[in-house]
Copies of this chain bind each other. A is one copy, B any other.
Amino acid sequence: MSTTTSSPSAPRLNINNINPHVVKAQYAVRGELAVKSELYRAKIASGDAADLPFKEVISANIGNPQQLDQKPITFFRQVASLLENPKLLEHPDVLVDTLGYKTDVIERAKWLLSQCQSVGAYSASAGVPAIKKSVADFLERRDGFPADPAHIYLSAGASAGVNTLLHIICADQNSGVLVPIPQYPLYTASLAVLNAVCVPYNLDESKAWGTDLETIKASYAKAKAEGVDTRAIVIINPGNPTGASLSEADIRSVIDFARQENLVLIADEVYQTNVFVGEFHSFKAVLRRMQQEQPGVYDHLELASLHSISKGMVGECGHRGGYFELVGFDPKVEAEIYKFVSITLCAPVLGQCLVEVMVNPPKQGDPSFELYDKEYNAIFNGLKERAYALHAAFSQMEGVECGEPQGSMYIFPTIKLPAKAAEAAAAEGRTPDEFYCMRLLEATGICVVPGSGFGQKEGTLHFRTTFLAPGTEWVGSIVKFHKEFMDKYR
Protein backbone atom coordinates (compact mmCIF):
# COMPACT_ATOMS: atom_id res chain seq x y z
CA MET A 1 0.00 0.00 0.00
CA SER A 2 1.36 3.41 -0.90
CA THR A 3 2.15 5.59 2.05
CA THR A 4 4.09 8.23 0.20
CA THR A 5 1.14 9.83 -1.55
CA SER A 6 -0.40 13.00 -0.24
CA SER A 7 -0.40 13.47 3.52
CA PRO A 8 -2.77 15.99 4.97
CA SER A 9 -1.02 19.14 6.07
CA ALA A 10 -3.71 20.07 8.59
CA PRO A 11 -6.55 18.34 10.38
CA ARG A 12 -9.67 17.84 8.33
CA LEU A 13 -11.81 19.82 10.73
CA ASN A 14 -11.26 23.47 11.50
CA ILE A 15 -13.37 26.24 12.90
CA ASN A 16 -14.38 27.30 9.39
CA ASN A 17 -15.64 23.97 8.10
CA ILE A 18 -17.36 22.34 11.09
CA ASN A 19 -21.05 22.73 11.85
CA PRO A 20 -21.54 26.52 11.79
CA HIS A 21 -24.67 26.26 13.94
CA VAL A 22 -22.69 24.78 16.80
CA VAL A 23 -20.09 27.51 16.40
CA LYS A 24 -22.85 30.11 16.56
CA ALA A 25 -24.37 28.73 19.77
CA GLN A 26 -23.54 30.52 23.00
CA TYR A 27 -23.61 29.06 26.48
CA ALA A 28 -22.15 31.52 28.93
CA VAL A 29 -23.12 29.61 32.08
CA ARG A 30 -20.19 27.31 31.39
CA GLY A 31 -18.18 29.66 29.22
CA GLU A 32 -14.93 31.60 29.62
CA LEU A 33 -15.63 32.74 33.18
CA ALA A 34 -16.50 29.22 34.32
CA VAL A 35 -13.38 27.80 32.68
CA LYS A 36 -11.20 30.45 34.30
CA SER A 37 -12.77 29.79 37.69
CA GLU A 38 -11.94 26.08 37.35
CA LEU A 39 -8.33 26.95 36.58
CA TYR A 40 -8.22 29.02 39.77
CA ARG A 41 -9.73 26.11 41.68
CA ALA A 42 -7.09 23.72 40.35
CA LYS A 43 -4.35 26.24 41.19
CA ILE A 44 -5.60 26.51 44.77
CA ALA A 45 -5.91 22.72 45.08
CA SER A 46 -2.30 22.32 43.95
CA GLY A 47 -1.14 24.67 46.70
CA ASP A 48 0.20 27.18 44.19
CA ALA A 49 -2.08 30.13 44.92
CA ALA A 50 0.06 32.55 46.89
CA ASP A 51 -0.35 35.13 44.14
CA LEU A 52 -4.15 35.00 44.18
CA PRO A 53 -6.07 37.58 46.20
CA PHE A 54 -8.54 34.93 47.42
CA LYS A 55 -8.36 31.51 49.04
CA GLU A 56 -11.32 29.76 47.46
CA VAL A 57 -13.44 29.81 44.36
CA ILE A 58 -17.18 30.36 44.83
CA SER A 59 -19.11 28.93 41.90
CA ALA A 60 -22.17 31.16 41.98
CA ASN A 61 -22.55 30.73 38.22
CA ILE A 62 -24.46 27.44 38.21
CA GLY A 63 -27.43 26.20 40.18
CA ASN A 64 -25.40 23.30 41.56
CA PRO A 65 -26.50 22.97 45.19
CA GLN A 66 -24.45 19.96 46.21
CA GLN A 67 -21.24 21.50 44.96
CA LEU A 68 -21.77 24.09 47.66
CA ASP A 69 -23.48 23.71 50.99
CA GLN A 70 -26.52 21.58 50.27
CA LYS A 71 -26.58 18.03 51.59
CA PRO A 72 -28.62 15.41 49.77
CA ILE A 73 -31.88 14.34 51.38
CA THR A 74 -31.23 11.22 53.43
CA PHE A 75 -34.27 9.24 52.29
CA PHE A 76 -33.36 9.68 48.62
CA ARG A 77 -29.78 8.60 49.05
CA GLN A 78 -30.54 5.69 51.35
CA VAL A 79 -32.91 4.32 48.72
CA ALA A 80 -30.27 4.93 46.04
CA SER A 81 -27.60 3.05 48.01
CA LEU A 82 -29.85 -0.02 48.17
CA LEU A 83 -30.61 0.20 44.47
CA GLU A 84 -26.89 0.25 43.78
CA ASN A 85 -26.09 -2.63 46.10
CA PRO A 86 -29.20 -4.80 46.49
CA LYS A 87 -27.14 -7.27 48.53
CA LEU A 88 -27.52 -4.84 51.43
CA LEU A 89 -31.19 -5.83 51.48
CA GLU A 90 -30.11 -9.21 52.84
CA HIS A 91 -29.26 -7.44 56.11
CA PRO A 92 -32.42 -5.55 57.09
CA ASP A 93 -31.60 -5.63 60.80
CA VAL A 94 -28.17 -4.10 60.29
CA LEU A 95 -29.65 -1.46 58.01
CA VAL A 96 -32.31 -0.49 60.53
CA ASP A 97 -30.56 -1.03 63.87
CA THR A 98 -27.08 0.17 63.02
CA LEU A 99 -27.07 2.19 59.82
CA GLY A 100 -30.09 4.45 60.30
CA TYR A 101 -32.29 3.10 57.51
CA LYS A 102 -36.03 3.05 58.14
CA THR A 103 -38.33 0.32 56.93
CA ASP A 104 -39.92 2.56 54.30
CA VAL A 105 -36.51 3.05 52.69
CA ILE A 106 -36.14 -0.70 52.37
CA GLU A 107 -39.65 -1.12 51.01
CA ARG A 108 -39.21 1.62 48.45
CA ALA A 109 -35.91 0.19 47.24
CA LYS A 110 -37.42 -3.28 46.90
CA TRP A 111 -40.35 -1.91 44.97
CA LEU A 112 -38.17 0.14 42.62
CA LEU A 113 -35.92 -2.87 42.00
CA SER A 114 -38.96 -4.99 41.22
CA GLN A 115 -39.94 -2.38 38.63
CA CYS A 116 -36.61 -1.71 36.94
CA GLN A 117 -34.95 -5.07 37.54
CA SER A 118 -31.56 -3.38 37.94
CA VAL A 119 -30.47 0.25 37.81
CA GLY A 120 -27.77 -1.09 35.50
CA ALA A 121 -30.29 -2.21 32.86
CA TYR A 122 -31.65 0.06 30.16
CA SER A 123 -35.27 0.89 30.87
CA ALA A 124 -37.99 1.33 28.30
CA SER A 125 -37.14 4.36 26.14
CA ALA A 126 -39.60 6.74 27.81
CA GLY A 127 -38.79 5.46 31.28
CA VAL A 128 -39.72 2.73 33.75
CA PRO A 129 -43.53 2.38 33.45
CA ALA A 130 -44.14 2.30 37.22
CA ILE A 131 -42.14 5.52 37.67
CA LYS A 132 -44.17 7.22 34.93
CA LYS A 133 -47.25 6.13 36.88
CA SER A 134 -45.85 7.70 40.07
CA VAL A 135 -45.24 10.94 38.19
CA ALA A 136 -48.81 10.88 36.89
CA ASP A 137 -50.15 10.35 40.42
CA PHE A 138 -48.06 13.28 41.63
CA LEU A 139 -49.37 15.53 38.87
CA GLU A 140 -52.90 14.52 39.72
CA ARG A 141 -52.40 15.39 43.40
CA ARG A 142 -50.63 18.65 42.51
CA ASP A 143 -53.10 19.88 39.91
CA GLY A 144 -56.39 18.25 40.81
CA PHE A 145 -56.69 16.90 37.28
CA PRO A 146 -55.87 13.45 35.91
CA ALA A 147 -52.52 12.75 34.27
CA ASP A 148 -51.79 9.86 31.94
CA PRO A 149 -48.48 7.96 32.32
CA ALA A 150 -48.55 7.28 28.57
CA HIS A 151 -47.77 10.96 27.97
CA ILE A 152 -44.95 11.20 30.50
CA TYR A 153 -41.35 10.88 29.33
CA LEU A 154 -38.49 10.49 31.76
CA SER A 155 -35.43 12.42 30.64
CA ALA A 156 -31.81 13.06 31.58
CA GLY A 157 -32.63 16.26 33.43
CA ALA A 158 -35.00 18.82 31.95
CA SER A 159 -32.26 19.78 29.47
CA ALA A 160 -32.64 16.54 27.56
CA GLY A 161 -36.40 17.10 27.47
CA VAL A 162 -35.96 20.58 26.01
CA ASN A 163 -33.57 19.18 23.43
CA THR A 164 -36.13 16.56 22.41
CA LEU A 165 -39.00 19.01 22.17
CA LEU A 166 -37.08 21.58 20.14
CA HIS A 167 -35.81 18.86 17.81
CA ILE A 168 -39.39 17.87 17.02
CA ILE A 169 -40.88 21.36 16.84
CA CYS A 170 -38.26 23.01 14.65
CA ALA A 171 -38.71 21.83 11.08
CA ASP A 172 -36.38 24.19 9.29
CA GLN A 173 -34.50 27.47 9.50
CA ASN A 174 -37.75 29.33 9.34
CA SER A 175 -39.23 27.70 12.46
CA GLY A 176 -39.40 30.11 15.37
CA VAL A 177 -39.80 29.70 19.11
CA LEU A 178 -40.70 32.54 21.46
CA VAL A 179 -38.14 32.64 24.29
CA PRO A 180 -38.20 34.96 27.30
CA ILE A 181 -35.39 37.43 27.73
CA PRO A 182 -33.61 36.98 30.04
CA GLN A 183 -33.67 33.17 29.69
CA TYR A 184 -31.71 30.12 30.62
CA PRO A 185 -29.34 29.92 27.63
CA LEU A 186 -30.14 26.27 26.93
CA TYR A 187 -32.98 27.61 24.77
CA THR A 188 -31.02 29.99 22.60
CA ALA A 189 -28.12 27.54 22.36
CA SER A 190 -30.36 24.66 21.30
CA LEU A 191 -32.18 26.81 18.76
CA ALA A 192 -28.84 27.96 17.36
CA VAL A 193 -27.63 24.36 17.00
CA LEU A 194 -30.91 23.48 15.27
CA ASN A 195 -30.55 26.51 13.01
CA ALA A 196 -34.02 27.63 14.01
CA VAL A 197 -35.12 31.12 14.99
CA CYS A 198 -35.18 32.42 18.54
CA VAL A 199 -38.01 34.95 18.79
CA PRO A 200 -37.14 36.86 21.95
CA TYR A 201 -39.70 38.55 24.17
CA ASN A 202 -38.62 40.73 27.05
CA LEU A 203 -39.86 40.04 30.54
CA ASP A 204 -40.97 43.11 32.48
CA GLU A 205 -38.37 43.94 35.12
CA SER A 206 -40.63 46.72 36.44
CA LYS A 207 -43.31 44.13 37.22
CA ALA A 208 -41.10 41.66 39.08
CA TRP A 209 -40.01 40.06 35.80
CA GLY A 210 -43.55 39.00 34.87
CA THR A 211 -44.75 38.34 31.33
CA ASP A 212 -46.20 41.30 29.48
CA LEU A 213 -48.68 40.22 26.87
CA GLU A 214 -48.29 43.30 24.70
CA THR A 215 -44.55 42.70 24.54
CA ILE A 216 -45.07 39.07 23.57
CA LYS A 217 -47.58 40.06 20.91
CA ALA A 218 -45.23 42.65 19.49
CA SER A 219 -42.36 40.14 19.30
CA TYR A 220 -44.58 37.59 17.65
CA ALA A 221 -45.91 40.12 15.14
CA LYS A 222 -42.42 41.32 14.30
CA ALA A 223 -41.23 37.78 13.66
CA LYS A 224 -44.31 37.06 11.58
CA ALA A 225 -43.66 40.16 9.48
CA GLU A 226 -40.14 38.86 8.92
CA GLY A 227 -41.57 35.59 7.65
CA VAL A 228 -40.78 33.50 10.72
CA ASP A 229 -43.10 30.55 11.32
CA THR A 230 -43.36 30.82 15.13
CA ARG A 231 -44.55 27.51 16.49
CA ALA A 232 -44.07 27.55 20.22
CA ILE A 233 -43.60 29.74 23.25
CA VAL A 234 -41.27 28.94 26.13
CA ILE A 235 -42.16 30.08 29.62
CA ILE A 236 -39.76 29.53 32.50
CA ASN A 237 -41.79 29.63 35.70
CA PRO A 238 -40.47 30.23 38.29
CA GLY A 239 -37.99 32.19 36.26
CA ASN A 240 -34.36 31.52 35.52
CA PRO A 241 -32.40 33.77 35.86
CA THR A 242 -35.04 36.08 37.29
CA GLY A 243 -36.58 34.00 40.07
CA ALA A 244 -39.99 35.41 39.15
CA SER A 245 -43.09 33.40 39.98
CA LEU A 246 -45.91 34.10 37.54
CA SER A 247 -49.40 34.98 38.69
CA GLU A 248 -52.31 32.90 37.48
CA ALA A 249 -53.49 35.93 35.50
CA ASP A 250 -50.16 36.07 33.64
CA ILE A 251 -50.38 32.35 32.89
CA ARG A 252 -53.95 32.70 31.63
CA SER A 253 -52.86 35.49 29.29
CA VAL A 254 -50.08 33.40 27.88
CA ILE A 255 -52.33 30.38 27.39
CA ASP A 256 -54.92 32.51 25.66
CA PHE A 257 -52.30 34.01 23.40
CA ALA A 258 -51.02 30.52 22.55
CA ARG A 259 -54.55 29.51 21.67
CA GLN A 260 -55.08 32.53 19.47
CA GLU A 261 -51.87 32.01 17.55
CA ASN A 262 -51.94 28.22 17.76
CA LEU A 263 -48.59 27.91 19.53
CA VAL A 264 -47.22 24.97 21.47
CA LEU A 265 -46.66 25.88 25.12
CA ILE A 266 -43.36 24.78 26.63
CA ALA A 267 -43.54 25.30 30.38
CA ASP A 268 -40.16 24.93 32.06
CA GLU A 269 -41.23 24.42 35.66
CA VAL A 270 -38.06 23.02 37.20
CA TYR A 271 -38.12 25.58 40.04
CA GLN A 272 -41.71 24.83 41.02
CA THR A 273 -40.85 24.22 44.66
CA ASN A 274 -38.41 27.14 44.92
CA VAL A 275 -41.03 29.80 45.53
CA PHE A 276 -40.70 32.42 48.28
CA VAL A 277 -43.37 34.91 47.19
CA GLY A 278 -46.88 33.94 46.11
CA GLU A 279 -47.42 30.37 45.00
CA PHE A 280 -46.60 28.19 42.06
CA HIS A 281 -49.31 27.72 39.44
CA SER A 282 -48.66 24.97 36.96
CA PHE A 283 -49.56 25.59 33.34
CA LYS A 284 -51.28 22.21 33.29
CA ALA A 285 -53.66 23.08 36.14
CA VAL A 286 -54.45 26.51 34.74
CA LEU A 287 -55.02 25.10 31.27
CA ARG A 288 -57.32 22.39 32.63
CA ARG A 289 -59.32 25.01 34.55
CA MET A 290 -59.67 27.14 31.42
CA GLN A 291 -60.79 24.06 29.48
CA GLN A 292 -63.45 23.41 32.11
CA GLU A 293 -64.60 27.03 32.11
CA GLN A 294 -64.93 27.26 28.34
CA PRO A 295 -65.47 23.79 26.93
CA GLY A 296 -64.09 23.28 23.46
CA VAL A 297 -62.09 26.49 23.26
CA TYR A 298 -58.73 25.15 24.43
CA ASP A 299 -59.05 21.57 23.22
CA HIS A 300 -56.24 21.63 20.72
CA LEU A 301 -53.64 23.45 22.73
CA GLU A 302 -50.41 21.50 23.07
CA LEU A 303 -48.58 21.83 26.37
CA ALA A 304 -45.25 20.28 27.28
CA SER A 305 -44.27 20.85 30.89
CA LEU A 306 -40.88 19.93 32.30
CA HIS A 307 -39.56 19.13 35.74
CA SER A 308 -36.22 17.99 37.13
CA ILE A 309 -34.50 16.47 40.16
CA SER A 310 -31.68 19.01 39.83
CA LYS A 311 -33.43 21.90 41.52
CA GLY A 312 -35.93 22.33 44.32
CA MET A 313 -34.83 20.93 47.65
CA VAL A 314 -33.63 17.79 45.86
CA GLY A 315 -30.63 19.31 44.10
CA GLU A 316 -29.51 16.04 42.51
CA CYS A 317 -28.04 17.68 39.39
CA GLY A 318 -25.31 15.09 38.93
CA HIS A 319 -27.84 12.29 38.59
CA ARG A 320 -29.47 13.79 35.49
CA GLY A 321 -33.11 13.05 36.14
CA GLY A 322 -36.28 14.75 34.99
CA TYR A 323 -39.45 14.29 33.01
CA PHE A 324 -41.82 16.06 30.69
CA GLU A 325 -45.56 15.63 30.31
CA LEU A 326 -47.31 16.15 27.00
CA VAL A 327 -50.88 17.36 26.78
CA GLY A 328 -52.81 17.61 23.53
CA PHE A 329 -50.14 16.31 21.17
CA ASP A 330 -51.06 14.45 18.00
CA PRO A 331 -50.40 10.71 18.49
CA LYS A 332 -48.23 10.56 15.38
CA VAL A 333 -46.12 13.41 16.70
CA GLU A 334 -45.79 11.62 20.04
CA ALA A 335 -44.64 8.52 18.15
CA GLU A 336 -41.83 10.61 16.68
CA ILE A 337 -40.95 11.92 20.13
CA TYR A 338 -40.78 8.32 21.34
CA LYS A 339 -38.50 7.41 18.45
CA PHE A 340 -36.25 10.39 19.10
CA VAL A 341 -35.80 9.55 22.79
CA SER A 342 -35.27 5.89 21.94
CA ILE A 343 -32.19 6.80 19.87
CA THR A 344 -30.51 7.88 23.10
CA LEU A 345 -31.78 4.61 24.67
CA CYS A 346 -33.10 5.85 28.02
CA ALA A 347 -32.56 8.37 30.80
CA PRO A 348 -30.17 7.25 33.56
CA VAL A 349 -32.19 4.70 35.52
CA LEU A 350 -30.98 5.83 38.93
CA GLY A 351 -32.01 9.36 37.94
CA GLN A 352 -35.42 7.95 37.06
CA CYS A 353 -35.62 6.36 40.52
CA LEU A 354 -34.75 9.71 42.09
CA VAL A 355 -37.59 11.27 40.09
CA GLU A 356 -39.83 8.66 41.72
CA VAL A 357 -38.77 9.48 45.27
CA MET A 358 -38.97 13.20 44.53
CA VAL A 359 -42.60 12.99 43.37
CA ASN A 360 -43.50 10.43 46.00
CA PRO A 361 -41.55 11.35 49.14
CA PRO A 362 -42.26 9.98 52.64
CA LYS A 363 -45.71 10.99 53.83
CA GLN A 364 -46.79 12.03 57.29
CA GLY A 365 -46.79 8.90 59.42
CA ASP A 366 -44.12 7.13 57.35
CA PRO A 367 -41.02 6.17 59.32
CA SER A 368 -38.77 8.47 57.27
CA PHE A 369 -41.15 11.41 57.22
CA GLU A 370 -39.86 13.35 60.20
CA LEU A 371 -36.26 13.49 59.00
CA TYR A 372 -37.31 14.13 55.40
CA ASP A 373 -39.53 17.00 56.44
CA LYS A 374 -36.85 18.51 58.64
CA GLU A 375 -34.19 18.32 55.93
CA TYR A 376 -36.54 19.65 53.27
CA ASN A 377 -37.58 22.64 55.33
CA ALA A 378 -34.04 23.40 56.42
CA ILE A 379 -32.93 23.58 52.80
CA PHE A 380 -35.89 25.73 51.83
CA ASN A 381 -35.35 28.14 54.70
CA GLY A 382 -31.60 28.25 54.15
CA LEU A 383 -32.08 29.23 50.52
CA LYS A 384 -34.60 31.88 51.46
CA GLU A 385 -32.40 33.36 54.17
CA ARG A 386 -29.39 33.57 51.89
CA ALA A 387 -31.49 35.09 49.13
CA TYR A 388 -32.63 37.85 51.43
CA ALA A 389 -29.12 38.40 52.81
CA LEU A 390 -27.82 38.78 49.29
CA HIS A 391 -30.67 41.08 48.41
CA ALA A 392 -29.95 43.24 51.44
CA ALA A 393 -26.29 43.55 50.44
CA PHE A 394 -27.07 44.34 46.81
CA SER A 395 -29.63 46.94 47.81
CA GLN A 396 -26.88 48.96 49.45
CA MET A 397 -24.53 48.85 46.49
CA GLU A 398 -24.14 51.95 44.35
CA GLY A 399 -25.84 51.62 40.97
CA VAL A 400 -27.32 48.21 41.77
CA GLU A 401 -31.06 47.61 41.69
CA CYS A 402 -32.51 44.36 42.79
CA GLY A 403 -36.12 43.35 43.33
CA GLU A 404 -37.14 41.26 46.30
CA PRO A 405 -36.13 37.59 45.85
CA GLN A 406 -39.11 35.58 44.67
CA GLY A 407 -37.82 32.09 44.12
CA SER A 408 -35.65 29.74 42.03
CA MET A 409 -31.97 29.78 43.05
CA TYR A 410 -30.99 33.12 41.58
CA ILE A 411 -30.89 36.84 41.98
CA PHE A 412 -30.53 38.92 38.83
CA PRO A 413 -29.72 42.49 39.82
CA THR A 414 -29.45 45.40 37.41
CA ILE A 415 -26.07 47.10 37.48
CA LYS A 416 -25.40 50.58 36.22
CA LEU A 417 -21.75 50.96 35.36
CA PRO A 418 -19.82 54.18 34.68
CA ALA A 419 -18.99 55.15 31.10
CA LYS A 420 -15.29 54.61 31.79
CA ALA A 421 -15.99 50.98 32.66
CA ALA A 422 -17.84 50.54 29.38
CA GLU A 423 -14.85 52.00 27.53
CA ALA A 424 -12.42 49.70 29.32
CA ALA A 425 -14.69 46.77 28.50
CA ALA A 426 -14.81 47.72 24.83
CA ALA A 427 -11.03 47.94 24.77
CA GLU A 428 -10.98 44.30 25.91
CA GLY A 429 -13.60 43.29 23.38
CA ARG A 430 -16.10 42.56 26.13
CA THR A 431 -19.55 43.76 27.01
CA PRO A 432 -19.54 45.91 30.17
CA ASP A 433 -21.26 43.21 32.24
CA GLU A 434 -18.79 40.55 31.08
CA PHE A 435 -15.96 42.92 31.97
CA TYR A 436 -17.45 43.49 35.41
CA CYS A 437 -17.88 39.76 36.08
CA MET A 438 -14.35 38.98 34.91
CA ARG A 439 -12.90 41.59 37.27
CA LEU A 440 -15.09 40.23 40.07
CA LEU A 441 -13.75 36.72 39.50
CA GLU A 442 -10.14 37.88 39.37
CA ALA A 443 -10.48 39.94 42.55
CA THR A 444 -12.61 37.64 44.69
CA GLY A 445 -12.75 34.14 43.19
CA ILE A 446 -16.52 34.53 42.89
CA CYS A 447 -17.91 33.34 39.57
CA VAL A 448 -21.21 34.85 38.43
CA VAL A 449 -22.71 35.09 34.94
CA PRO A 450 -23.12 38.40 33.08
CA GLY A 451 -26.65 39.31 32.04
CA SER A 452 -25.58 39.14 28.41
CA GLY A 453 -25.32 35.37 28.90
CA PHE A 454 -29.09 35.23 29.36
CA GLY A 455 -30.08 38.14 27.17
CA GLN A 456 -31.22 41.46 28.60
CA LYS A 457 -33.23 44.40 27.36
CA GLU A 458 -31.08 46.71 25.27
CA GLY A 459 -29.31 49.33 27.32
CA THR A 460 -29.51 47.35 30.58
CA LEU A 461 -26.83 45.35 32.39
CA HIS A 462 -27.22 42.60 34.95
CA PHE A 463 -25.51 39.61 36.45
CA ARG A 464 -26.91 36.40 37.82
CA THR A 465 -25.71 34.88 41.04
CA THR A 466 -27.00 31.82 42.80
CA PHE A 467 -27.69 32.12 46.51
CA LEU A 468 -26.42 28.63 47.22
CA ALA A 469 -22.99 29.36 48.64
CA PRO A 470 -22.87 29.11 52.43
CA GLY A 471 -21.90 31.93 54.76
CA THR A 472 -21.95 35.66 54.20
CA GLU A 473 -18.26 36.36 53.78
CA TRP A 474 -18.47 36.05 50.01
CA VAL A 475 -21.33 38.54 49.92
CA GLY A 476 -19.04 40.98 51.73
CA SER A 477 -16.38 40.35 49.09
CA ILE A 478 -18.81 41.34 46.34
CA VAL A 479 -19.71 44.54 48.19
CA LYS A 480 -16.06 45.43 48.67
CA PHE A 481 -15.16 44.63 45.06
CA HIS A 482 -18.06 46.65 43.75
CA LYS A 483 -17.05 49.72 45.67
CA GLU A 484 -13.48 49.49 44.40
CA PHE A 485 -14.67 48.89 40.84
CA MET A 486 -16.96 51.90 40.95
CA ASP A 487 -14.25 54.06 42.49
CA LYS A 488 -11.80 53.05 39.78
CA TYR A 489 -14.08 53.72 36.82
CA ARG A 490 -16.21 56.54 38.12
Contacts and interface: CB of A to CB of B under 8 A. Distances in A.
Interface of A: 1, 3, 5-15, 17-20, 22-23, 25, 27, 29-31, 38, 42, 62, 64-67, 72, 74, 77-78, 80-85, 87-88, 91, 94, 98-100, 116-125, 129, 156-157, 159-160, 163, 167-171, 186, 189-190, 193, 231-232, 252-253, 256, 259-260, 262-264, 294, 296-302, 310, 315-320, 328-330, 332-333, 336, 339-340, 342-351
A6 B168 contact: no
A80 to B, nearest CB: 4
Contacts of A81: 81-82, 84-85, 88
Contacts of A336: 15, 18, 22-23
25 contacts: A3-B297, A7-B298, A11-B328, A12-B262, A13-B329, A14-B330, A22-B168, A27-B342, A30-B125, A30-B339, A31-B339, A66-B117, A66-B120, A67-B117, A77-B85, A81-B84, A81-B85, A84-B350, A120-B319, A156-B320, A156-B348, A167-B193, A318-B346, A318-B350, A320-B345
A132 to B, nearest CB: 12
Contacts of A7: 259, 296-300
A65 B118 CA distance: 10
Nearest to A20: B171
Nearest to A344: B159
A117 B94 CA distance: 27
Contacts of A100: 87
A13 B231 contact: yes
Nearest to A340: B22
A119 B80 CA distance: 11
A204 B19 CA distance: 32
With most chain B CB atoms within 10 A of its CB, the pick from A122, A296, A339 is: A122
B330 A317 contact: no
- Kindly list the 5 A-B residue pairs having the minimum CB-CB distance in the complex, ordered from nearest: A318-B349, A81-B85, A30-B342, A80-B84, A66-B118
A350 B13 CA distance: 32
Nearest to A337: B22
B350 A319 contact: yes
A414 B349 CA distance: 35
A87 B78 CA distance: 9
Contacts of A98: 91, 94
A104 B66 CA distance: 25
A19 B296 contact: no
A190 B87 contact: no
Contacts of A19: 167-171
Contacts of A297: 3, 7
With most chain B CB atoms within 10 A of its CB, the pick from A20, A23, A298 is: A23
Nearest to A4: B297
Given A99-B94, A171-B17, A340-B22, A119 B319 contact: yes
Contacts of A167: 19, 22, 193
A121 B348 CA distance: 15
Contacts of A14: 330, 332-333
Given A1-B253, A62-B122, A339 B22 contact: yes
Given A120-B319, A121-B67, A332-B14, A5 B260 contact: yes
Given A81-B82, A339-B27, A256 B3 contact: yes
A390 B378 CA distance: 58
Given A14-B330, A23-B336, A328-B11, A186 B343 contact: yes
A343 B189 contact: yes
Given A38-B124, A66-B121, A84-B84, A333 B13 contact: yes
A77 B84 contact: yes
Contacts of A160: 344
Contacts of A22: 167-168, 336, 339-340
Contacts of A300: 7-12
A213 B62 CA distance: 49
B72 A78 contact: no
Contacts of A301: 8
A303 to B, nearest CB: 11
A300 to B, nearest CB: 4
Nearest to A314: B120
